[in-house]
Structure 1
């Protein structure tokens, strides 16, 4: 089979791939975007029904297109976000091929470039951009046996409360996904236990400005001064119109808060001690933002009204003051476990020398150690914005610039006339 020659193959037509395509087109780089399903498929089929964007519409978008027919201060639902990316791809005329599965990417033998084998033929590419995003393969801790009678779902497979059988639910993981899903299940009448580990819990908004605005104003997108811990759950969301995640409030609404899940033996789940400490650490991060925001307002003379209620904490519910350290799932009536435990990378198709000893991409700002291989859309690729809609667009521009420069080296021909 004759390979189709193209300068750059972009793999994935989500937010990263579309941003990459826009910048490559602007720089006249011939390219194609390959997508195994539909544009922005994960927003449509790998998220729960009530999911909304994590930031308001004025912010969680690309610079050149606003969300239409949408309040700019609202949090667009997932289907609207997916539609937005389809609209954007059409606007920039992105050369996207959907329904094409990439089987492997391998270096060419004896020459530059890569052989990209797909379900629709082979491409010979000088550059390959892995734009498959941060949510590649659901991560499950090895705690509950797979053959257990319990229904076990990852958050990427959860749709709505009606999907679960009668009985209680243990939600493991209290970041944006776990906290939202736990609240939704409780509102649906479920008995819910929420396992909480270390987390970062900022205010959804403060003194009339959303947290994404404060991230920019305070320089927290770049985290140069005070980087937060990586791999810690990020407890902030746009759920129910945009509210600060308050675990005490969840406890008072009937959700039983428990510590980080440690293990399971004969149907009894053990939780690590330290629930109150984890809650207190989350409070510290929350109050740090309030203090920094107050200082910023004072320094810059902004007319933003004080918000004293933001400094008030609810009383600790009993589940915090008297934490449960073990739970017999059958006795508690739990029939489902929902794992909101994040994702791990899956670059098994990328057969190149571009990974460190842990299997993570060996890169700097998305530029791989292997010439011609790039990564885009991964957490902390450049800064904390890199895996967000807002940040990936800017990261893509940097990579596109680098591709153009490298193409120049490849295409260089000595000008003999200029030497005479």
Structure 2
């Protein structure tokens, strides 16, 4: 049986970052990846996807993206970036290895990891599978319905869908980009939107990520009450533009409130569209206000942008919202659920998950000795699940493993 000091499960951004820091400590380790490096970027995203942050920001410190630093890299470029980074740091990645079970040993330190290529033992185990593990589809429309239902991870492009109108459910980054792409391809689109944050893409000549940095928002260590799972509507598509749902409606997309039920082919819509849009506007305006205050306080020379404060008039689908949507009558043949993800640690047999299957941890350190997590949302700060943020969290975890390794190696002089 093979034996390593540390086994890292997952070779995406979290796993590669962890490997770099483990190597810096001289810690013997291996990364186990069921697919290829950055597999989800390659096979679980739509064809036209680009990163939601510019290349200068969404990267690890040791390597820049090639090309325009202000551009938003295509998904293929992001996957290649992680592959190049793994080669640069000589990360010990094993691809095509599925972990079927992992559990701590009884009465001694370490873990037994069972894989598709045989068992492995390790003193430390790092779960670096990230936050996008199991697509979440609310049980609203029965699977027996005639309409084709898919999660955003299965969507590829408009031509791959059946003819007819499309209902997109979920007003975050994925939903807003997919709805716009379908409309631009000539599809009739109905778009169901829930509560969301809607930051500006750029303001006063600086990208949103820059403002979040200088305003200290990336470093917030806990979400505001009720905001932990609020979706964020931001896009790097077409060079990066602010997501404005009212403008999407003006282009011909029909906006809906949250989908609340389904009966006899009719989707029931909550009466919350206006409230959701207004809350998203308030979120955007609050960031603009904070940015203006920063400029006034620091004296930095950035051009004013009064047009960014203008909120378009409500379109008819907002002022007179649809409360019931007959799918057949509206020729809706496809429903795309852009409704996020759930954790899935079915393979992990350790007392470190809550009743909803979420990891119990402090900054990624599990209460189970030797078990760690990297890549979780809000693991240590708001930026934790982003490329640049996970790198810093991975360093903290590698530091903790090194500290524990040194404790376990200690032998008193009397011995």
> What TM bracket, shorter-length normalisation?
over 0.9
Instruction: From 180, 192, 195, give the equivalent of 1:195.
Output: 192
**CA deviation map 1:255-282 (0-9, x unaligned):** 0000000010010000110211110000
Aligned pairs for 1:219-298 within 5 A: 219-223=216-220, 227=224, 229-298=227-296
**Structure 1 residue 227: deviation in Å?**
3.2
Counterpart for residue 124 of structure 1: 121
Instruction: From 180, 183, 186, give the equivalent of 2:177.
Output: 180
Indicate yes or no: 2:53 matched with 1:62.
no
TM-score by length of 2: 0.98
**CA deviation map 1:319-349 (0-9, x unaligned):** 0110001111000110000000000000000
Counterpart for residue 96 of structure 2: 99
**Structure 1 residue 359: deviation in Å?**
2.0
Counterpart for residue 371 of structure 1: 369
In 2, Cα distance between equivalents of 1:225 and 1:332: 43
Please give the secondary structure, in 2, of the residue aligned with 1:364: coil
Instruction: From 154, 157, 179, give the equivalent of 2:154.
Output: 157
In 2, Cα distance between equivalents of 1:226 and 1:117: 36
Please give the secondary structure, in 1, of the residue aligned with 2:144: coil
**CA deviation map 1:101-126 (0-9, x unaligned):** 11110111221100001111111101
Please give the secondary structure, in 2, of the residue aligned with 1:367: coil
Indicate yes or no: 2:89 matched with 1:84.
no
**CA deviation map 1:120-141 (0-9, x unaligned):** 1111101110000110000010
In 1, Cα distance between equivalents of 2:47 and 2:106: 47
Counterpart for residue 317 of structure 2: 319
In 2, Cα distance between equivalents of 1:109 and 1:218: 48
Counterpart for residue 213 of structure 1: 210
**CA deviation map 1:39-96 (0-9, x unaligned):** 001001000000000100000000010001x200000000000000000000000000
In 2, Cα distance between equivalents of 1:298 and 1:225: 27
**CA deviation map 1:361-408 (0-9, x unaligned):** 110100001111111111111111111101000000000000000111
In 2, Cα distance between equivalents of 1:226 and 1:349: 29
Please give the secondary structure, in 1, of the residue aligned with 2:382: coil
In 1, Cα distance between equivalents of 2:221 and 2:339: 27
Given that residues 9 and 31 in structure 2 are in contact (C-alpha distance below 8 angstroms), is that contact kept between their aligned partners in structure 1?
A: yes
CA RMSD of aligned residues (A): 1.1
**CA deviation map 1:164-185 (0-9, x unaligned):** 1000011000100000000000
**Structure 1 residue 147: deviation in Å?**
1.6
**CA deviation map 1:241-260 (0-9, x unaligned):** 10000001100010000000
User: Quick one: structure 1 residues 130 and 65, their matched pair in 2 at CA, closer, same or farther if it must change by over 3 Å?
Assistant: same
**Structure 1 residue 223: deviation in Å?**
2.4
Instruction: From 350, 353, 378, give the equivalent of 2:351.
Output: 353
In 2, Cα distance between equivalents of 1:207 and 1:169: 36
Please give the secondary structure, in 1, of the residue aligned with 2:31: strand
**CA deviation map 1:295-333 (0-9, x unaligned):** 001110100000111011211111011000111100011
TM-score by length of 1: 0.97
Please give the secondary structure, in 2, of the residue aligned with 1:385: helix
5+ residue gaps, structure 2, are: none
**Structure 1 residue 237: deviation in Å?**
1.4
Given that residues 222 and 381 in structure 2 are in contact (C-alpha distance below 8 angstroms), is that contact kept between their aligned partners in structure 1?
A: no
Instruction: From 9, 12, 15, give the equivalent of 1:14.
Output: 12
In 1, Cα distance between equivalents of 2:155 and 2:44: 8
In 2, Cα distance between equivalents of 1:357 and 1:347: 12
Counterpart for residue 74 of structure 1: 71
Please give the secondary structure, in 2, of the residue aligned with 1:219: coil
Counterpart for residue 407 of structure 1: 405
User: Quick one: structure 1 residues 225 and 15, their matched pair in 2 at CA, closer, same or farther if it must change by over 3 Å?
Assistant: closer
**Is the deviation greater in 329-338 or in 375-384?**
375-384
Given that residues 198 and 280 in structure 2 are in contact (C-alpha distance below 8 angstroms), is that contact kept between their aligned partners in structure 1?
A: yes
Counterpart for residue 379 of structure 2: 381
Runs of 4+ that moved beyond 3 A: 224-228
**Structure 1 residue 410: deviation in Å?**
1.4
Instruction: From 130, 135, 138, give the equivalent of 1:138.
Output: 135
